[in-house]
Amino acid sequence: MSFLSFWRHHGTRGVFSSIQEQLSSPTGCTQEDQYWGRLATGGEEDYYWRRLSDNWSMKDVMPSTYLEIHNACYEAYNANPIAFAIIEITTSFVLGKGVSITASEPVVQQILQDFWNDPDNHMDTRVYSLCTELSLYGEQFVRFYINRLNGKVKIRQIDPSIIDQIETDPEDIETPMRFHLRPIGPAVVLPTATDVQRSLNTEGEWLLAGSDVVQFCINKVSNAKRGKSDLATLLPWLRRYKDWLTDRVRINKYKSAFLWDVQLQGADKKAIDRKKMEYAYPPEPGSIIIHNEAEKWSAVRPEINANEAEADGRALKLMLAVGAQLPEHYLSDGNYGNRATAAEMGLPTLLKFQRRQHILRALLRTILDRVILEAQKAHRLSNTLATDYEILFPQIDTADHQTLASATQLLMGGLTQAKQQGWISDETAMRLLFQCLDEEIDLHDERERVWLGDQKRR
C-alpha cells in the first residue's frame, strides 16, 4: 500500500486533501498570488510541503521568485514608460540638484570631500544611482574597499541578484552576519589564455556584514531579509495596462480599415472564379470602377466601438497611480482635476519623498561614518576631534507659503498683545511661534543668541 493510499484508507481526508492541494497546480490564480501567496514564501525545497507548525513568519519569497521579480522590475524599468517614470520621478524629487555635506571641523570636512570627490567614488553622480537602484531593486548592497596604509575608502554597488544568501543572527533576524555572492558563470566572450588557466569559482564568496558589505532595504517588514522594489506590487498592473494599450493600438489600426464586398447577380462558379482572378489586386485609392448592374460594390468596415474602453484604461492607470503613491497628473493625465485639486493630492506623495530622503540620509551617513572611522585608524584624523557633520538634501516643501505667512502675521499680532497684557512669557511666545513655523529650535540657545546680539549692539 502506498503512502497516500494508507492515509486514504485510514480516513484522514483532511490531511490528504491538504497534500493534494499542495501537489495540484494552482488554477485561476493571478500573478500576485504566485508572487506573494503563502506557497511562494520559504525555501525552494519546501514549495510543495507545509510545515506541521505555521509558516506565516517566513516573509521572504523563494530565491527563484525573488530573481523573477528582480528581472521583471528591471525589464519594466527599461521597457515600460510608466515604470521608468515612477522610478525617475522618485529620484528627481528626493535628490533634486544634489546632496551636500558640511562638517563642523575643517579637517573632517576635507576628509569627507576627498572621499566625495574621488573619481573612483564619484559621489555627486553615485547618489542618483543609489536612489534609483534602491527604488528599482528595493535594496542596495554597498561594498567597501579600504586602503590600510592611508585609510582611504572606495565603494562599489553590488547587484542584489547575485546575493543569494543572507545569514543573520539566530536570535535577531534584523542583524545580518554575512552575505553570500553566488558564483558567476564564464563570460560569453572567447576566453583568453589567462582565463583558461584560472580556476573557475564554483562556490561563490562570503562577505562579512558591516566590515565588507552593508545592506539597505525599503518596502519590507522587520522580519524579512530582502527589500522589495517600488515596482514589485505594480508589475501585474503594468503588464495589464501595457496589454490594454497594445490592444488599443491594434483596434485603432483596424478601425479605419475596410474591404470591398462585390456581389455578382446570377453568376455561376466559373464567373465568380474569373472575377476573383480579375480583382486579385484591389483598386487603388481614388481610382474609377466601372461595372454593369450585375455587380454591386460596397465598402465593409468593422463595427468597433473603441470609445467605450476609455473608462477601463483610466481604471487601470488609477491602479498604477495609487500603487506608486503618485497623483494621476504625475502620470501625464491632468484632465480630471484642477490646480486646487492637484495641490491637495500632492501632500501624501511629498511626504513619501521626504521619508525616502530619511532613508537615503541614513545610507549616506553609514558610508561617511566608515570613511571617518578608517581615517582615524590610519591616524589621519584625531580620535578626540569632533566628527559631527550634516547631510543636506534639497528641501521638499509641503507648506503653502502664502497661507503660512498670513497665519504667522496674525499669530505675531496675537502674541504681542498677549505679552503686553502679561498673559504669556517671552519663552512661551517663542515656543508658539516656532511651533507654527514647524521649526525645532532650542529656546534657551535662541534666547542666549538674542541676548548676545543685544550686548553687541550696545
Q: Are 223 and 171 in contact (CB under 8 A)?
A: no
Tell me the mean pLDDT in the region 60-66: 87
Segment 192-208, tens digit of pLDDT: 655 555 556 677 889 99
Tell me the mean pLDDT in the region 394-398: 79
pLDDT value at residue 225: 92
Segment 120-171, tens digit of pLDDT: 999 999 999 999 999 999 999 999 999 989 999 999 999 999 999 999 998 8
pLDDT band of 3, cuts 50, 70, 90: very low
What 3-state DSSP class applies to 334? coil
d(CA 348, CA 328): 13
10 Å CB burial of residue 57 (0-12, 13-18, 19+) is: exposed
d(CA 134, CA 405): 37
> 439: phi > 0 → left, psi -120 to 50 → alpha, else beta; which?
beta
CB atoms within 10 A of CB 62: 19
Secondary structure (DSSP) of 220-242? --TT-SS---TTTTTHHHHHHHH
d(CA 262, CA 245): 35
What is the average pLDDT score of the chain? 81
pLDDT band of 306, cuts 50, 70, 90: low
pLDDT value at residue 13: 44
pLDDT value at residue 25: 44
Please state the pTM of the whole predicted model.
0.72
Higher-confidence position of 106 and 254:
106
Segment 179-196, tens digit of pLDDT: 999 887 666 565 665 555
pLDDT at 319 over 80: yes
**Phi, psi values for residue 442, rounded to 5°:** -70, 115
